[in-house]
C-alpha cells in the first residue's frame, strides 16, 4: 500500500511537470487539469482586481511613453515570468491561433510605439506588408535615445503577455488589431516601384494620401448616387432644363457638362457613371419643351437689344450679325474697366463712304488716346477681321483668321487715328505710328467662323490673355458667348 501511494505521487508530479512545460505549446488537458486551470484563472482574476490601482499607474506611464491605450497587449511588471494560459475548452487549433494573434498584435503595437516615439521629421521607415500582417519597421535615421526606449518597450512586451480570457475577448482583440492596422496603413504612403511604405508626418501633404482621399471621396460619391432615387433625379433634371430655357430662351448654349455640374452641386455627388440614364432624359425633355409655344425673348443691355433671332446666329456654323458683335464689344469694354474702346461694326463702312467727317461725331464723348487699346471690327462683305490701334506702342496691327494681310484696311485706320489726334490736339500721336500683321494668330478651317474668331481675338487682347485657342474650341466658345450675352457680363473662365 505504501509503495502504491509513492508511485501515485511520482506519477502526479511527472504529470504536473509535463503540464507546465506544455502550456505554451499544444495542450491536451484532462477535465481535472482544466478545472485546476480554471481555478488558477479565477485566482489570477482576483489578483488582477487587487492590483487595479497599480495597473492604472502603469497605464499612465504607458501613455507618457507614447503607447496607445486599448492595445491588445498589456505591459505589466511582474517578478516571475507570466504564462500564456489557454481558456477552458480550447483545443489545439485555438491555442495556435491565439499565439499567432498575439504575435501580430505585438508587431503592430511595436510599430505604433515606434512612430509615437520618433519626432515628425524622422518618421521615414521601410515597412513590408504581407497577408494582413505588418512587419516591424526599420528606421533609416534615428537617435540613440529612441533606440534605447524602443528596446526597453520590446523587452517588456517579450516577457509579459496579457492572457486572453475567452473567445469573445479574443475576437475583440483581433478586431482592435485590424482597426489599428488600418490606422497605421492610412499613415503610410505606398511607393509602387519599390514596394515600400513611407510614414507621413502629420500635416504634410503627400500624393499617396491625396489618392487615398480621392478614393474615399469617390466611394462617398457613389453612395450618394445610390441614395438619389430615379424619380428625384428625373424631377431635378426637368427643373434645371425649365430654368435654363427661361434664362437663355433656347437650348443652343446647353452643354452636357452643364447638367452634370448642376447635379453635382444639387446632390453633392458625381453622376458620371449614370450618363446613360441622364442624357437620354435630357434629350427627351428638351424635345418636349421646344414643341411648346415660346414667349418673346429679348436681352437688353444699355443701348443694345438682342432678340432670339440675333442670338441664334451663334448656333452651329451661322454667321454672326452686327448686333451680336456690338453688344459683345460693349461687354469687353466694361470688363477691361474702359481702358479699351471697341468701335461699332458700322464704323469702317461709314469711314469708307463718308470719310472722317462721317464718323467725327462717333468719338465726341470719348478720348481715344486715354485708352490703351482701340479695337475696330472690320466687315468686308462676307468676312470679318480685326484691326487694333495700340496707343502705348503706337502700333496698328491686323488680326485675320484667314491669314489675309489687308494693308488697305490698316492704312485707313492709321489715317483716321492721325486725323483724330490732330483734331483733338494730341500732337504726340500725330506721327510715329507703325503697321504690322500678326501671322501667328489662330486660324479658321472653314468659311463660317470668322466673326467668332474676331470676338475671341478682341476678348483676349482686351483682358491681356494669350491667344491660346483653335478651330476645335469654337463650338464651346459660341456657347460661352451666348451665355455671356444673356448674362450681360463676361465669364471668368471659358
| 371 touches 412 (CB < 8 A) | no
Set 170, 310, 400, 449: catalytic member: 400
Burial of residue 102 (CB within 10 Å: 0-12, 13-18, 19+) is buried
Q: DSSP secondary structure string, 397-465?
A: EEE-TT----HHHHHHHHHHHHHHHHHTT-GGGSS--EEEE-TTS---SSSS-HHHHHHHHHHHHHHT-
Set 65, 236, 383, 488: catalytic member: 383
Question: 288: which 3 cell numbers?
Answer: 418636349
| 73 touches 162 (CB < 8 A) | yes
Length of the chain: 494
Give the count of beta carbons closer than 10 Å to the beta carbon of residue 439: 10
Set 90, 105, 450, 486: catalytic member: 450
Active site residue 400: yes
CA 374 to chain centre: 41
Residue with cell 524622422: 122
C-alpha 44/C-alpha 97 separation (Å) is 22
Residue with cell 474702346: 341
Active site residue 450: yes
C-alpha 477/C-alpha 235 separation (Å) is 30
3-state helix, strand, coil in the chain (%, to 5): 55, 10, 35
Active site residue 65: no
Question: Catalytic residue positions?
Answer: 383, 400, 450
Amino acid at each position: 500500500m505504501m509503495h502504491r501511494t509513492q508511485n501515485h505521487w511520482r506519477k502526479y508530479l511527472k504529470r504536473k511537470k509535463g503540464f507546465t512545460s506544455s502550456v505554451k505549446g499544444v495542450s491536451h488537458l484532462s477535465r481535472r487539469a482544466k478545472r485546476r486551470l480554471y481555478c488558477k484563472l479565477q485566482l489570477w482574476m482576483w489578483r488582477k482586481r487587487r492590483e487595479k490601482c497599480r495597473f492604472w499607474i502603469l497605464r499612465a506611464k504607458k501613455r507618457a511613453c507614447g503607447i496607445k491605450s486599448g492595445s491588445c497587449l498589456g505591459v505589466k511588471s511582474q517578478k516571475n515570468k507570466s504564462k500564456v494560459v489557454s481558456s477552458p475548452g480550447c483545443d489545439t487549433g485555438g491555442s495556435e491561433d491565439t499565439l499567432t494573434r498575439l504575435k501580430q498584435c505585438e508587431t503592430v503595437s511595436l510599430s505604433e510605439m515606434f512612430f509615437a516615439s520618433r519626432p515628425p521629421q524622422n518618421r521615414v521607415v521601410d515597412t513590408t506588408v504581407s497577408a494582413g500582417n505588418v512587419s516591424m519597421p526599420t528606421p533609416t535615421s534615428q537617435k540613440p535615445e529612441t533606440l534605447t526606449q524602443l528596446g526597453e518597450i520590446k523587452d517588456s512586451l517579450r516577457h509579459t503577455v496579457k492572457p486572453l480570457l475567452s473567445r469573445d475577448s479574443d475576437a475583440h482583440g483581433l478586431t482592435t488589431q485590424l482597426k489599428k492596422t488600418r490606422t497605421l496603413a492610412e499613415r503610410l504612403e505606398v511607393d509602387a516601384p519599390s514596394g515600400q511604405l513611407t510614414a507621413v508626418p502629420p500635416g504634410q501633404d503627400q500624393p499617396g494620401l491625396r489618392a487615398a482621399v480621392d478614393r474615399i471621396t469617390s466611394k462617398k460619391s457613389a453612395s450618394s448616387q445610390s441614395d438619389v432615387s430615379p424619380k428625384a433625379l428625373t424631377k431635378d433634371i426637368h427643373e434645371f432644363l425649365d430654368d435654363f430655357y427661361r434664362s437663355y430662351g433656347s437650348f443652343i448654349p446647353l452643354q452636357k457638362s452643364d447638367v452634370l455640374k448642376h447635379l453635382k452641386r444639387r446632390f453633392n455627388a458625381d453622376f458620371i457613371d449614370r450618363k446613360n440614364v441622364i442624357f437620354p432624359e435630357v434629350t427627351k425633355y428638351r424635345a418636349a419643351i421646344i414643341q411648346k409655344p415660346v414667349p418673346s425673348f429679348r436681352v437688353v443691355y444699355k443701348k443694345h437689344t438682342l432678340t432670339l433671332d440675333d442670338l441664334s446666329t451663334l448656333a452651329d456654323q451661322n454667321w454672326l450679325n452686327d448686333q451680336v458683335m456690338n453688344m459683345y464689344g460693349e461687354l469687353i469694354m466694361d470688363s477691361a474697366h474702359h481702358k479699351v474702346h471697341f468701335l461699332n461694326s458700322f464704323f469702317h463702312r461709314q469711314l469708307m463712304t463718308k470719310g472722317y467727317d462721317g464718323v467725327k461725331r462717333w468719338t465726341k464723348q470719348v478720348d481715344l488716346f486715354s485708352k490703351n487699346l482701340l479695337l475696330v471690327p472690320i466687315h468686308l462683305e462676307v468676312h470679318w477681321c480685326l484691326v487694333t490701334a495700340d496707343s502705348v506702342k503706337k502700333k496698328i496691327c491686323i488680326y485675320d483668321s484667314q491669314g489675309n494681310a489687308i494693308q488697305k484696311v490698316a492704312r485707313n485706320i492709321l489715317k483716321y487715328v492721325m486725323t483724330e489726334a490732330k483734331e483733338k490736339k494730341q500732337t504726340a500721336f500725330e506721327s510715329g505710328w507703325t503697321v504690322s500683321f500678326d501671322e501667328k494668330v489662330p486660324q479658321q478651317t472653314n468659311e463660317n467662323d470668322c466673326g467668332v474668331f474676331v470676338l475671341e481675338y478682341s476678348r483676349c487682347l482686351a483682358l491681356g490673355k494669350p491667344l491660346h485657342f483653335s478651330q476645335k474650341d469654337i463650338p464651346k466658345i459660341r456657347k460661352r458667348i451666348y451665355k455671356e450675352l444673356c448674362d450681360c457680363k463676361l465669364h471668368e473662365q471659358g
